[in-house]
Amino acid sequence: MEDAVTITPEQLAGLDAQSWRRLGITQTFDRLLVDAAALHPGTIDDVRDAAGRQLTGGAAKFWQLSFPQLKRDLCRKRVLAEADGTLALHAEFADRLLRILADLQLGASRVEPTPGVTLEQVLEKSKRREANEKLAKRSRQSNSRSSAAKKPKVDATPITRAGASGNDGLDPVSPVPAVPAQTRTPASKLFTSLKLNKLLDHLDNTTLSKPQLANRLELRAADIDRFLDATTELDMTRVSRDGLVELHWKGREHARTSGADRRMLVIDLVKELRTHGDAE
């Protein structure tokens, strides 16, 4: 067996979810096993026990049952290497892992943008988005102060029929209440984990028109444009000239995640989308 490559806990702690996806590790149990093989290479039983040490109850039992299949799959993918009863990182995977750690230390990024989109364009779009958010925040604060200074007066005087006297036996005509304008959906209700998961699942392998997507996400017609404006700004979706919606490069990347990674990713995205929605 080739010499096992040992990675320090500090190095593994510096890997974020995006780095693990670059390595092809998206499942929680796969990551547990890779962590154990990197930190404690040794006999198969030792690596298995090290990986399952933090699990309890049903999760621990499921780990014991699924470990043989997980080990076979990761060895087949050349993530792990098994020889003479020992288990460690495969030399090729360890080399990729070390390169990513070096990139992170240097502040480099290997995210591949959509074909035809340069890194400079992505960075420029990010700068424009930040500037727009700051401008929208200042505008919202200014509007809030103006609204507080100018409160509309409501005329509650009852309307009477012309020529009618106070004792003609007729009741005064009650004022017709004004029809309230359609309220704006708060960002906390517009952007939810459920809607975001549905968006990724429905657009994973197809495109939908705006009305179709609004129906799938249970959104009002007045809200679908707000929803898509926010997800487009975050490079999750894009809308064609004929009104068809598809996943953009970040959306396609997010749709490939699942399990615990998907839940954590969606929580972060919801926070970011709500911040964008509140800034409008």
pLDDT tens per residue across span 240-270: 888 899 998 888 888 888 888 888 888 988 8
Write the CATH number of the domain with boundaries 119-141+186-279: 1.10.10.10
Domain with CATH 1.10.10.10 in the chain: 119-141+186-279
Q: What mean pLDDT value characterizes the chain?
A: 79
Write the CATH number of the domain with boundaries 9-106: 1.10.10
Task: Give the type of residue at 227.
Answer: F
The torsion defined by the Cα of 137, 143, 145 and 146, in degrees rounded to 10, comes to: 160
Q: Which of 36-50, 163-177, 188-202 has the lowest mean pLDDT?
A: 163-177
Using pLDDT thresholds of 50, 70 and 90, give the confidence band for residue 109.
very low
Q: What is the pLDDT of residue 43?
A: 93
pLDDT of 185 strictly over 90: no
C-alpha distances in Å from residue 252, one per residue of 237, 238, 246, 275: 9, 11, 9, 22
